[in-house]
Amino acid sequence: MAAQLYKTSSGRLFHAGAVAVITVGLPARGKTHSSRSLCRYMRWMGVATKVFSVGNYRRERFGSMPEDWFDDSNVEAARIREQISDECLDDMIAWLTDGGQLAIYDGNNIKESRRRELNDKLLAHDIHPLFIEFVCNKPDIVLDNIKHVKISSPDYVGWNPEDAVVDYGNRIKQHEAKYETIADTTLPFVKLINAGEQLIVNNCVGYLQSRIVYFLMNLHINRRTIYFARTGLAIDERSYKIDADLSDEGKKYAAKLRDFVVAYREKKITESGVSEDQDRPLVWTSTRKKAKQTAYPFMEAGFPVRGHSVLTQMNPGEADGLTNEELKEKFPEEVVKARENPYRHRYPRGEVRICFCHG
C-alpha cells in the first residue's frame, strides 16, 4: 500500500474533504469493473473508500427482474427503481458524512435531470461530486463485456448463455432510448471513451480528483496475468543495511524460478492459444541486490526486467537485524505502537513508507 504521511483531524487525507464519484453510461460499458478497480486503488492509497451499487441494492431487494423492469412505460417499475436509487444515494451520503472520504455511486444515471439532482444534493451536504461517463461505440467491446461479465451476474443464474446475451442486449436498447450524454460543462466530469482510447476532462479540481483521472488514464480491461514471487535468500537475511547478495541457495532458486515461469507461460499459451503481451515488462523488481539478482536469469533468457524503488521493503531503522525477541526487549513501546497502528508507525530512524511487496 502507498504511504500516508499524515491524516487530518477528520481522518481524511490530503485536506480533500468528502468526494463522491458518480458513474454515467449505458449498461456493459465498464462502470462496475472500473468502480471496483478505482475502489481498490484508492484504498491502496489509504483513502477510506466504498462502492455503493444501485444494481446490488435492487438485486438484494427484488432479485432478478423481468425484461420490462427497465422500460419507462412500466410506471410502477420506474417508481421502484427511483426509490432504490435514492435509498442507495442516502446511504452513501450518510457514510461520507460519518467520516468516509471517497464514495462511488455505481449506477447508469443516464438522464441530465438526474445528474443535476445528484450534483445539487451532494453539494448541499458539502460533498464534492465527480461524474465519470463511460462511452463505448465499438460493438465488439460491448459484446465481449456482456459475454464474459454480465451474463454471469446474479441476474442470469440458471439462464441459457445465448438467451442471457439477447436479454441483456434488449436491456441496453431500453436504456439507449432515454440516454443523454453529459453536456453541462458546469459539472465536474470525465468522459472515458472506448475503454481508454480517449479521455475528456472538464472542471476537475482537487488532489483526489486528479488521482482519479490519473488512474483512469492507466485503466485497462484486457485480461492479463500477474505472477508474484519472493526473492531468493540473501547471504545475510537479517540486515537491511548490508543489502547482501544472493546466497548460493538463492541463486539456485532464481534459476528454478525462471525455468518454472517460462514453462508455465508456454503451457498456458499452448492451451489457450492466446499469447501474452511481450512488449510489457515481464519482471518488476525492487532496487535491492537480492531482488535484482533474482531477476538475472530472466534477463539472460531475453526477458525485459524493470526495477522500481517503490517495491523496496521499508527501512527498519534501528530495528534492523533484531529478532522479534530482541525487538520487544529494546523497543517495547514501539512494538505496541506498531501493533496498534501498523500503517503509520515507523521504528526510530526508519521509514514510514509501507510497500505492497518486500524486496
Q: Which helix (H) or strand (E) holds 135?
A: strand 127-135
The single residue listed with the C-alpha cell 435531470 is 113
Q: Helix and strand tally (H, E) in the chain?
A: 11, 8
Cα separation of 22 and 105, whole Å?
A: 5
Question: Is the CB of residue 114 less than 8 Å from the CB of residue 32?
Answer: no
Kindly report each contact of residues 257-264 with a partner whose C-beta sits within 8 Å and lies 24 or more positions away, as own/partner: 257/229, 257/232, 257/294, 257/297, 258/297, 258/298, 258/301, 261/227, 261/229, 261/298, 262/301
Annotated catalytic residue 236: no
| Integer Cα distance of 206 and 144 in angstroms | 35
| β 18-24/127-135 pair status | parallel
| Distance (Å, whole) CA 340 – CA 147 | 46
C-alpha cell at 193: 471513451
Selecting among 91, 98, 106, 167, the annotated active-site residue is 106
Which triple of cell numbers denotes residue 16?
Answer: 480533500
List active site positions. Answer: 106
